[in-house]
Amino acid sequence: MEFLVLKYVFRILILVAFTLLFASCEREIEIDVPTGETQIVVEGTIETGQPPVVLLSKTRGFFEPTSAQDIANSYIDNAEVRVNGILLNRICSDSLPPEFQAIVSGLIGISIEDLDDLRICAYIGLDPALIGTENTIYDLSVTAEGKELSATTKIPAIIEPDSVWFRLWADSPQYGYVFCNLSDPDTLNNAYRIFTKRIGPNDNNNPIDDLYYAPLGSTFIDEFFNGETIEVGFTRGQPANSIRPTDQGDESGYFEIGDTFIFKFCSITKASYEFYLTFESQQGANGSPFASPANVISNINGGLGIWAGYACSRDTIIAIP
Partner 1 sequence: MFVLVRLFFFFFLFGFLQISAQAQRSVLIYGSIKDSLTLESLPGASIYLTPSLKGAITDANGNYKFRASPGNYLLTASYVGFREYKKQISLSENDSLKLDISLGSITLSAVEIEATRLEKIRSTEMGVNALTMETIETMPAFLGEVDLLKSIQLLPGVQSAGEGSAGFYVRGGGPDQNLILFDDAVVYNASHLLGFFSVFNSDAIQSVKLYKGVMPARHGERLASVIDIEQRQGNKDKFSGRGGIGLISSRLTLEGPIEKGKSTFLIAGRRTYIDALAKPFIKKSSPFGGSGYYFYDLNARLDWKLNKGGKLYLSGYFGDDYFDFNSPQSEFKTTVGWGNRIASGGYSKLFNNNSLLKLNASITNYRFTFLGAQDDFELEVKSNVLDYRFKPEYSFNLGSHRMRFGGAYTNHAIRPNNSRAEQGGTQFDLGELQKYRSHEGAIYLSDAFDLTETWSFEAGIRASAFMHVGPFTRYILDENGNKTDTISYGKNENIADYFGLEPRFMVRYQLNSRSSIKTAFTQNYQYIHLANISPLALPTDVWLPSTDVIQPQLGRQYSLGYFRNFFDGMLETSVEGYFKTMDNLVEYKENTQPSDGVDNNEDNLLTFGNGIAYGIEVFIHKTIGKTTGWIGYTLSRSERTFEEINQGRTYPATFDRTHDLALVVAHKLNKKWTLSGNFIFGTGRAITLPQSGYFIENRLVYNYDERNSFRMKDYHRLDLSAIYQPNNTRIEIDPKTGNKIEVPRKIQSKWVFSIYNVYNRLNPYFYYFDTAGRAVDNTYKVTAKQVSLFPILPSVTWNFSF
Q: Are 140 and 153 in contact (CB under 8 A)?
A: yes
Q: Is 125 in the site for partner 1 (CB under 8 A)?
A: no
Contacting residue, 49, 70, 157, 201, with partner 1 by CB under 8 A: 70
Q: Which residue lies nearer to partner 1 by CB, 92 or 107?
A: 107
Work out how close the CB of 109 gets to partner 1 at its nearest, in angstroms, rounded to a whole number.
2
Nearest-angstrom CA–CA distance, 144 and 302: 11
Q: In the window 301-320, what residues touch partner 1 (CB under 8 A)?
A: 304-306
Contacting residue, 49, 66, 89, 320, with partner 1 by CB under 8 A: 66
Q: Which residue lies nearer to partner 1 by CB, 38 or 316?
A: 38
Q: In the window 240-299, what residues touch partner 1 (CB under 8 A)?
A: 240-241, 243, 270, 277-279, 281-283, 286-297
Q: In the window 91-110, what residues touch partner 1 (CB under 8 A)?
A: 106-110
Q: Which residue lies nearer to partner 1 by CB, 16 or 87?
A: 16
Judged by DSSP in three states, 261 sits in strand
Count CA atoms closer than 13 A to 252's CA, side-chain side: 12
255-256 and 175-183 strand pairing: antiparallel
Question: 280 phi and psi, to 5 degrees?
Answer: -70, -35
First to last CA, the chain: 20
Q: Which residue lies nearer to partner 1 by CB, 158 or 230?
A: 230
Q: Which of 13-21, 90-98, 127-135, 259-267 is the region at the interface with partner 1 (rule: CB under 8 A)?
A: 13-21
Residue 142's CB: how many other CB atoms inside 10 A?
27
Q: Is 187 in the site for partner 1 (CB under 8 A)?
A: no
Residue 163's CB: how many other CB atoms inside 10 A?
11
